A and B are shown apart, each in its own frame.
Chain A
Amino acid sequence: MDISSLYNHVAPWMDGSGPMNDIVISSRIRLARNISGFLFFPRADAQQQRDVLNYVHDRLMTTDVGKSMMYLDMENVPVLQRSILVERHLISRRLAEGNGACGVSISQDETLAVMINEEDHLRLQAIAGGLQLEETYSQINRIENVLEEQMEYAFSPRYGYLTACPTNVGTGIRVSVMLHLPALKMTGQIEKVFRAARDMRLAVRGFHGEGTEPIGDFFQLSNQTTLGKSESQIIEELTSLAVIPIVEYERRARQKLIDDRQVALDDKIFRALGTLGNCRMINSEEAMFLLSYVRLGVHLERIKDLSLNTVNEIFLMTQPAHLQNWYKKDMDPTQRDQMRAEFIVKKLSSPSN
């Protein structure tokens, strides 16, 4: 199957469904694994890196799950396509920017990805829309059960799965949720929420994960402790101690905005919609910022004639790499801002475009 067929529409898991989808955009779990008997990726020379890639690829391809996925040797993937994969949350920035032999296998519905030679030999990833961490974990477990029959992992009884960075050792699990928290931001409570999250040893990051600033009220929350707790305990703690309470706070803050400041809220929402619908040049940061209000407006049913699917589509398709791919040409930032505006105006005037 040709990977480029994916690029012109949103992934099924991005359709805006899923539990608590008014606030939880997505749930993602990653597992870090290394193959016993090889040096860790950052220490290995080019030949050894190639050996690991071949070793994992060959074994992955003997399994049904591996055969059903699309495999990409990153060496053959041009820069633009790498960025598209990052924007679709299918690979990490590290894999996209990395040198050396590395690859990725992606399931057709884009919910599963197996990155080979990222920071660790293997990074398995499962993703779903809304709050679905348990389902996501059972999905990643299914592929892990198949893979572990094929290879032996570096493991120590004391430290669990051994990873290149000691901060990932143990379960090697990174559980994260993407949250949309515009009302907490507007009512000035977001810092309080982050402090509480940080006190619980959770990391708070921006839309694109590690090393990115939050834009447009989207925040990624994930565990940092990977040792000394079981996978299910880590998932359960993140869910019940952080995600559920934050969702409650955000809903309460939204309700309070409607009760006390409805006109001011509508003003923000409809100004955002107005700007997006009439702009002639817009950068991706401003677009995200305004789309955040529009998304809120759709969920609160202040905006009635726009579907969440269209909002999500604009989100994804107006990111730099997707936009260039859509218009099939290299563009400098100014041209991109024009094309982005054109795309958004067209979508909003007639969503079926």
Chain B
Amino acid sequence: MKCQLCNKQATVHLTEIINGEKTEKHLCEECAYNDGITIKAHVPINELLTDLVESQEQASELSELTCPQCTMTWSEFRKGGLLGCPKDYEIFDEPLRKIISKAHENAKGHIGRSPLKVSGKHQDQMSLFRLRQKLQHAVDNEDYEVAASLRDEIEKYGVHN
């Protein structure tokens, strides 16, 4: 079967029923993607950057953002796709957040292994991180009493953590 929009082989077949009316779509991978029906699996970082950031950047002065530590600017990162130092994650937090979320299935934050050694300024955040790990564990085990008290403790750190 040929794609309805171009002449390539149709590989995506969609049947929709809206208000009792049935419509069928037969598209090739490319057209299905353009139509928003499927998502491209391996989205290269550069594409993520152009797609996501262009709109918000027109409105703000993001491209002027500069990291004091590695002197990387946001627009430089957009061109190369690689960050300059760990501090960039703080400096570019706002625009990066959307990219990271998109690249990682809307992940909210890190779960998993954490390092043994963490320097001074992160100590507070580390205890918070460990609390979150425990919370995840409690939720997984359906231990809701423990989970509730962990949530209380986490709230003490403030909402934005």
State which of A43, A149, A151, A228 has its C-beta within 8 Å of the C-beta of B110: A228
Contact with A along B100-142 (1 / 0, CB 8 A): 1001111111111111111100100110110010000000000
Residues of A180-201 at the interface with B, using a CB-CB cut-off of 8 Å, are: 191, 195, 197-199, 201
Identify A157's interface contact among B48, B69, B129, CB under 8 A.
B129
CA distance A149 to B109 in the complex (A): 25
* A157-B128, A201-B41, A227-B100 known; A165+B81 contact, CB < 8 A: yes
A231 to B69, CA, bound (A): 31
Q: Is B148 in contact with chain A by the CB < 8 A criterion?
A: no
The interface-forming segment of A63-71, A75-83, A167-175, A333-341 is A167-175
Name the residue in B86, B100, B119 with the highest tally of chain A Cβ atoms < 10 Å from its Cβ. Answer: B86
In the complex, the answer to whether A198 meets B111 with C-beta atoms within 8 Å is no
- Contact check, B109 vs A159: say whether CB atoms are below 8 A apart: yes
Alpha-carbon distance A40/B11, docked complex (angstroms): 42
B contact residues, range: 35 or more
Contacting residues of chain B (19-39) with chain A, CB-CB under 8 angstroms = 38
- Asked if A345 CB lies within 8 Å of chain B CBs, one says no
What's the least CB distance linking A36 to chain B, in Å? 6
Instruction: Count A interface residues, CB 8 Å.
Output: 49
- In the bound assembly, the distance between CA atoms of A42 and B84 in angstroms comes to 7
Cβ–Cβ contact B110 & A148, under 8 A: no
The answer to whether B82 touches A165, judged by C-beta atoms less than 8 angstroms apart, is: yes
Asked whether A171 lies within 8 Å of B110 as measured between CB atoms, the reply is yes
**Are A166's CB and B110's CB within 8 A?**
no
A273 at interface, CB cutoff 8 A: no
In whole angstroms, how far apart are the Cα atoms of A38 and B90 in the complex? 16
> How many A-B residue contacts, CB cutoff 8 Å?
149
A146 → chain B closest CB, angstroms: 11
Does chain B have a CB within 8 A of A154?
yes
By a CB distance below 8 angstroms, the chain A residues around B79 are none
A153 within 8 A of B: yes
**Once the chains are docked, how many angstroms separate the CA of A38 from the CA of B107?**
27
Q: Which residues of B contact A224 (CB under 8 A)?
A: 41-42, 103
Give B61-100 interface residues, CB cut-off 8 Å to A. Answer: 69-70, 72, 80-86, 89-90, 96, 99-100
* Also in contact, A169 and B100, with CB within 8 A (given A42-B80, A203-B41): yes
Contact between A164 and B105, CB atoms less than 8 A apart: no
Assess A229 versus B100: contact at CB under 8 Å? Given A165-B81, A201-B41, A201-B105. no
Q: What residue of chain B has the Cβ atom nearest to residue A230's Cβ?
A: B112
**Which residues of chain A come closer than 8 Å to B82, judged between CB atoms?**
40, 42-43, 119, 164-165
Say whether A162 faces chain B, with CB atoms less than 8 Å apart. yes
Q: Does B150 contact A (CB under 8 A)?
A: no
- Is residue B53 within 8 Å, beta carbon to beta carbon, of the partner chain? no
Query: Within 8 Å CB of B132, what residues of A?
Result: 157
Given contacts A36-B119, A157-B125, A199-B41, contact A227 B11 (CB under 8 A): no
Please give me the residue from chain B that is nearest to A229 by CB atom: B111
A200's nearest neighbour on chain B, judged by CB, is B41
> Which of B11, B116, B126, B128 has the most chain A CB within a 10 Å cutoff?
B116
Among B41, B105, B116, the residue within 8 A (CB) of A197 is B41
Contacts of B96 in A (CB 8 A): 166
In contact, A231 and B112 (Cβ under 8 angstroms): yes
Q: Are A157 and B126 in contact (CB under 8 A)?
A: yes
A173 to B104, CA, bound (A): 13
Does B113 lie within 8 Å of A40, measured CB to CB? no
- Residue A153 contacts which of B48, B111, B115 (CB distance < 8 angstroms)? B115
A198/B84 in contact, CB under 8 A: no
Contact check, B45 vs A43: say whether CB atoms are below 8 A apart.
no
A157 with B117: CB separation less than 8 A: no
Closest partner residue, chain B, to A202 (CB atom): B41
The minimal Cβ–Cβ distance linking B96 to chain A, given in whole angstroms, is 6
Contacts of A40 in B (CB 8 A): 70, 82-86
Closest B residue to A120 using CB positions: B82
Which of B80, B104, B161 touches A170 (beta carbons < 8 Å)?
B104
Judging by beta carbons under 8 Å apart, are B84 and A155 in contact? Answer: no
The distance from the CB of B148 to the nearest CB of chain A, in whole angstroms, is 21
Decide if A148 touches B103 in the complex (CB within 8 Å): no
Q: What is the distance, in angstroms, from A328's C-beta to the closest C-beta of chain B?
A: 39
Q: Check A39–B104 contact: CB distance below 8 A.
A: no
Q: Which residue of A lies closest to B114 (CB)?
A: A155
Contact: A164 with B83, CB < 8 Å?
Answer: yes
Q: Knowing that A40-B70, A225-B103 touch, tell me 8 more A-B residue pairs with CB under 8 angstroms.
A: A155-B114, A155-B122, A166-B96, A199-B41, A224-B103, A225-B105, A229-B112, A230-B111
12 pairs across A/B with beta carbons < 8 Å?
A: A39-B85, A149-B116, A152-B115, A155-B115, A157-B132, A158-B125, A164-B83, A165-B83, A171-B112, A201-B41, A227-B110, A229-B111
